[in-house]
């Protein structure tokens, strides 16, 4: 009997982890179409809380409003042109799912900041 209960508990943990990964991918796709690479999924006891961590490739941001020195600007451009390679930029993601048994009760972003704190972006 105990083995069956332990086995069922493990099954819920794995199902909740998979459900949280899927929810994270779906929610991220609403704003970022890039493919999410999951690097870690952690589940609390009985799978009541699951955290999914990963990253996705983002296009490099345009230069900020800060003026670069002439030397830095002049030396940076040929390096990119000479190698022909652009450095890949990744954005870290993290999401938390809360479950009651196998039912999802809450989902929230922990990172990136624009998803974790959408009110901050709206106030700018």
Flag the least confident range among 78-87, 102-111, 114-123.
78-87
pLDDT at 3: 43
Residues 3-32 have a mean pLDDT of 81
Q: Over the Cα atoms of the chain, what is R_g? A: 20
- The CATH code of domain 2-60+78-123 reads 3.10.450
Q: What is the dihedral of CA 101, 104, 110, 113, to 10 degrees?
A: 180
pLDDT at 1: 44
**Residue closest to 24 by CA, chosen among 1, 56, 48, 2:** 56
β partners of residue 43: 50
The rounded mean pLDDT for the chain is: 79
Whether the model clears a pTM of 0.85, i.e. scores above it, the answer is no
pLDDT at 39: 97
| Distance set, CA 36 to CA 32, 40, 41, 93 (Å) | 9, 12, 13, 9
Residues 48-95: tens digit of each pLDDT: 999 999 999 987 766 555 544 444 444 444 445 556 677 889 999 999
Q: With bands split at pLDDT 50, 70 and 90, how would you rate the model's confidence at 29?
A: very high
Question: Which pair of structure tokens corresponds to residue 50?
Answer: 């699951």
CA pseudo-torsion sign 14, 40, 54, 36: negative
For residue 99, give the DSSP letter. Answer: E
Residues 104-121 have a mean pLDDT of 90
């Amino acid at each position: 009997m105990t083995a069956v209960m332990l086995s069922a508990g493990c099954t819920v943990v794995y199902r909740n982890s998979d459900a949280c990964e899927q929810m994270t991918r779906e929610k991220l796709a609403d704003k970022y179409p890039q493919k999410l690479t999951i690097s870690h999924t952690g589940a609390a006891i009985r799978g009541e809380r699951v955290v999914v961590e990963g990253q996705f490739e983002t296009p490099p941001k345009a230069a900020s409003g800060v003026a670069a020195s002439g030397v830095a600007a002049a030396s940076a451009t040929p390096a990119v042109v000479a190698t022909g390679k652009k450095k890949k930029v990744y954005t870290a993601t993290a999401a938390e799912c809360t479950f009651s048994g196998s039912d999802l009760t809450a989902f929230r972003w922990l990172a990136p900041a624009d998803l974790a704190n959408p009110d901050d972006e709206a106030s700018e």
